[in-house]
């Protein structure tokens, strides 16, 4: 279990993501990566090893956009490598995800997805989540995520991006921490408060099973059965 981040707003997502990854470094990790929506596509850059490896790669291939997600990995399934680093996408990066934790039933899910013609790039348990979203896509991002959550078992914090809904990040958690930082015309997702503290002190702490739909000017939280919840804003002192 390592670190997760998300940004949606008017700023450059990469700036928050890289700074946030640095602030989550203390949790330990073996690889790091980010995904940003840029020119109609979700682009991914990820590298094994220290954060500086990712920063170097981003110097020659900068990702510029106003919405993105980031991850530091502590490998549980598949060796530390560029390919196994997160974010992971389906074949076309229609759905791109970052995951901390373990998808316990990924073997069965993967077997089934392979039969349906999905092509996997990594050895991770996490990659099934992106392919499942693509497979179960019903044209509604939120409903698709709920369909994915209905079939995966395990512990997770999970953040989803979808190229057909490029103003929205959806995140959820079970047995892993996840918070949402509430800004002005920008919102932040992180596994830990220090990652957002320079940007906002107003946060939502997600409870297990809750699903948040995060846009730059709104955060809506739902229960596992899809009903809206009114969350209390916590002020970090
Ligand atoms: N199980 C996933 C992997 O091995 C996520 C590990 C983590 O929490 O960083 O890629």
123 CA to centre of ligand 1 in angstroms: 11
Report whether residue 73 contacts ligand 1, using a CB cutoff of 6 Å: yes
Report whether residue 223 contacts ligand 1, using a CB cutoff of 6 Å: no
230 CA to centre of ligand 1 in angstroms: 31
Report whether residue 77 contacts ligand 1, using a CB cutoff of 6 Å: yes
Which pair of tokens denotes residue 60?
A: 């020659």
CA distances from 78 to 21, 132, 133, 183, 209 (A): 21, 19, 21, 36, 26
The whole-number pLDDT of residue 1 equals: 62
72 CA to centre of ligand 1 in angstroms: 9
The pTM assigned to this predicted structure is 0.98
Average pLDDT, the chain: 97
Cis peptide leading into residue 87 (ω within 30°): yes
Report whether residue 152 contacts ligand 1, using a CB cutoff of 6 Å: no
pLDDT tens across the length of the chain (237 residues): 689 999 999 999 999 999 999 999 888 899 999 999 999 999 999 999 999 999 999 999 999 999 999 999 999 999 999 999 999 999 999 999 999 999 999 999 999 999 999 999 999 999 999 999 999 999 999 999 999 999 999 999 999 999 999 999 999 999 999 999 999 999 999 999 999 999 999 999 999 999 999 999 999 999 999 999 999 999 998
73 CA to centre of ligand 1 in angstroms: 6
Report whether residue 99 contacts ligand 1, using a CB cutoff of 6 Å: yes
Query: Do the beta carbons of residue 144 and residue 170 sit within 8 Å?
Result: no
| Ligand 1 atom closest to 3 (CA) | 9
Report whether residue 42 contacts ligand 1, using a CB cutoff of 6 Å: no
């Amino acid at each position: 279990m390592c670190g997760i981040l998300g940004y949606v707003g008017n700023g450059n997502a990469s700036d928050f993501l890289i700074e946030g990854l640095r602030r989550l470094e203390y949790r330990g990790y073996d690889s790091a990566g980010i995904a940003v929506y840029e020119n109609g596509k979700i682009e991914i850059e990820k590298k094994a090893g220290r954060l500086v490896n990712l920063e170097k790669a981003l110097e020659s291939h900068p990702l510029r956009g106003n919405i993105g997600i980031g991850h530091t990995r502590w490998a549980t399934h598949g060796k530390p490598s560029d390919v196994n680093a997160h974010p992971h996408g389906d074949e076309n990066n229609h759905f791109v995800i970052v995951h901390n934790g373990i998808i316990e039933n990924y073997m069965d899910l993967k077997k089934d997805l392979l039969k349906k013609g999905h092509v996997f790039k990594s050895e991770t348990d996490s990659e099934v989540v992106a392919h499942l979203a693509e497979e179960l896509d019903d044209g509604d991002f939120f409903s698709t995520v709920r369909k994915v959550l209905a079939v995966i078992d395990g512990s997770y914090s999970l953040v989803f991006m979808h190229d057909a809904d490029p103003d929205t990040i959806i995140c959820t958690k079970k047995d892993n921490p996840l918070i949402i930082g509430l800004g002005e015309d920008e919102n932040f997702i992180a596994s830990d408060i220090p990652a957002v503290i320079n940007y906002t002190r107003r946060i939502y702490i997600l409870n297990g099973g809750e699903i948040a739909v995060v846009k730059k000017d709104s955060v809506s939280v739902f229960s596992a059965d899809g009903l809206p919840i009114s969350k209390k804003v916590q002020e970090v002192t």
